[in-house]
Structure 1
Amino acid sequence: MTVEVFAPAKINLTLHVTGQRSDGYHLLDSLVVFADVGDRITLTKAAETRLEVSGPCAAGVPTDARNLVVKAAQLLGVTAHIHLHKNLPAAAGIGGGSSDAAATLSGLCQLYCVPLPTPEAVLSLGADVPLCLKRGLVRMEGIGEQLSALGPSPGMHLVMVNPRVEVPTPTVFKALSCKENPAMNWPMNPTDWVLWVAKQRNDLEAPAVSAEPVIADVLAMLRAQPGCQLARMSGSGATCFAIMEDAQAQQNTVAHIKTAHPEWWAVACKALTGDQFSRETT
């Protein structure tokens, strides 16, 4: 038996940096959805763990214990042949590695009929891994360990764009001028949630733009497109997203960006509303 798992892109609709602990970890307040585009992982029982990587974004992805999917298998204490089809760019602010690790944990638990590790153990893989075990609309607080499921994601037509630059997360946090910022203005009114999101922030956007000014070009292009309701950077960058008013505006925007900048990564997507982790194959 093999298990195939889907590792969706994570989109931080908001990301407020509210403090920093004595151990250096930053405190966050973020509203997150997951997209219907992502990586795919196939898992098969094996005597020893072996990772193969393919796909359009496979270049440079480690296949040894540096990869979080291998660390996920080690955490569970199981071995498997793991095939990772990499569709998401790395170091992009959309949780690619963390989502891969979360999906691998879920798939290996299914494959070996074992429970998930404790939340504390999962957190040891990375601050975003517990978050990436969730679906729907999620509020993340603390260093990633405080998660509140808020129900299904609102329906939205999304565009994600990455200019093919990597922005190391430590670099962005180091450049953040103020680390004591207000939390989100909660609760959200679900009847005008786009307007509410627009009034919030991504506190990492400015330092990321300073590190890679092309991010500002991406945001400007998205905001100039007809039907763009909101454009913002996700996570620590460099991927930016836009909420479009309808499917036509979404498709037109992707087509425009691919024509103007064929070297950029640009995709149309929707937010996942249900659990779409895995399916068994034989």
Structure 2
Amino acid sequence: MDKGFAPAKVNLALHVTGRGADGYHQLDSLVVFAGTGDQIMAASARDLTLTVTGPFSKGVPTDDTNLVLRAAKALRAARNVTKGAAIRLTKTLPHGAGLGSGSSDAATALRLLASLWEVEPLSPDAPEVLALGSDVPVCLHAPAAMRMRGRGEVIDPAPALPSIGLILVNPGVVLPTKDVFGGLVTRTNPPMPALPDTRSADEFVAWLHTVRNDLQAPAEKLAPPVAEVLSVLRRTRGVLAAVMSGSGATCVGITRNAGTARTVARTIQLSRQGWWVAPAPLLA
């Protein structure tokens, strides 16, 4: 049985710069990956099936509406595969949380199944990949940090980032991406400034204070606990900056290293026991 790790996708900045004629929003985002995520296993089988387990398995479909199965079928069709696979997804990330877990799961499944079926993997710019969703192409680049633009099809490597720590915090709120985008007041905003080429945590954090997540305001309106999470993170000792990831509701605290992230996470877990809190290193 082959195994794969699907890391949490984190948007440290997300600027909405416009909306195309196709209805998709144009983005400019710094995407990184955290050292926490879902697990996927696959074994050869006659049919193509999916089972889901784990602490966040409830409500995750196992039919063709699941992105993992859609990805598997896209790869099978593109490479004329006749084999099947028994896929097991262990959900340790909350879904509908702004962490791109479904897209990361799909990207990991594409890599895993290409190896299992002994076929050429789909490239991030393949039309079949973009058809799976705007976040799947960038997730195929994991764990490398990337600058993602357009609807997700323009992807460039980010400069090397400092070895910072991350604390992922979700107040137990599910925010549908469509609803958050629907709450945008302005859909044409300035793009993200040039990424800093530095391994200094202080210089990188200074840059973080110059960027935005344009989805934060509509997310806070739909789910006021988002503002509370950001407030708690920002006033906790050891947190250098705090941002909302993607369309929320997960927020991310930035620390100087992974050890500090673990300490901060324990502090927040004790004070907010109903929240999901996960410390993780920034992957590279």
TM category, shorter: over 0.9
Residues 2-37 of structure 1, C-alpha deviations (whole Å, 9 max, x = no match)? 210100001101000000011110000000110110
How many residue pairs match? The answer is: 272
1:23-172 equivalences in 2 (<5 Å) = 23-77=22-76, 78=81, 79-118=84-123, 119-134=126-141, 135-172=143-180
Q: Which runs of 5+ in 2 are unaligned?
A: none
Whole-Å separation in 2 of the counterparts to 1:242 and 1:107: 31
Once the two structures are TM-superposed, the CA of residue 249 in structure 1 deviates from its matched residue by 3.5
TM-score scaled by length of structure 2: 0.93
Once the two structures are TM-superposed, the CA of residue 271 in structure 1 deviates from its matched residue by 1.2
Whole-Å separation in 1 of the counterparts to 2:258 and 2:9: 20
Q: Confirm or deny: 8 A CA contact 1:33 1:153 kept in the other structure.
A: no
Once the two structures are TM-superposed, the CA of residue 137 in structure 1 deviates from its matched residue by 1.5
Moved beyond 6 Å, runs of 4+: none
Q: Which among 234, 237, 240 is matched to residue 248 of structure 2?
A: 237
TM-score scaled by length of structure 1: 0.93
Once the two structures are TM-superposed, the CA of residue 50 in structure 1 deviates from its matched residue by 1.1
Q: Which among 206, 215, 223 is matched to residue 195 of structure 1?
A: 206
Once the two structures are TM-superposed, the CA of residue 258 in structure 1 deviates from its matched residue by 1.2
Partner of 1:179: 187
Whole-Å separation in 2 of the counterparts to 1:8 and 1:248: 19
Whole-Å separation in 2 of the counterparts to 1:177 and 1:231: 23
Aligned partner of residue 103 in structure 2, secondary structure: helix
Percent same amino acid at aligned positions? Answer: 45
- Note the aligned Cα RMSD (angstroms): 1.3
Q: 1:264 and 2:272 equivalent?
A: no
Q: Which runs of 5+ in 1 are unaligned?
A: 274-282
Aligned partner of residue 53 in structure 1, secondary structure: strand
Q: Which among 254, 270, 274 is matched to residue 265 of structure 2?
A: 254
Partner of 1:206: 217
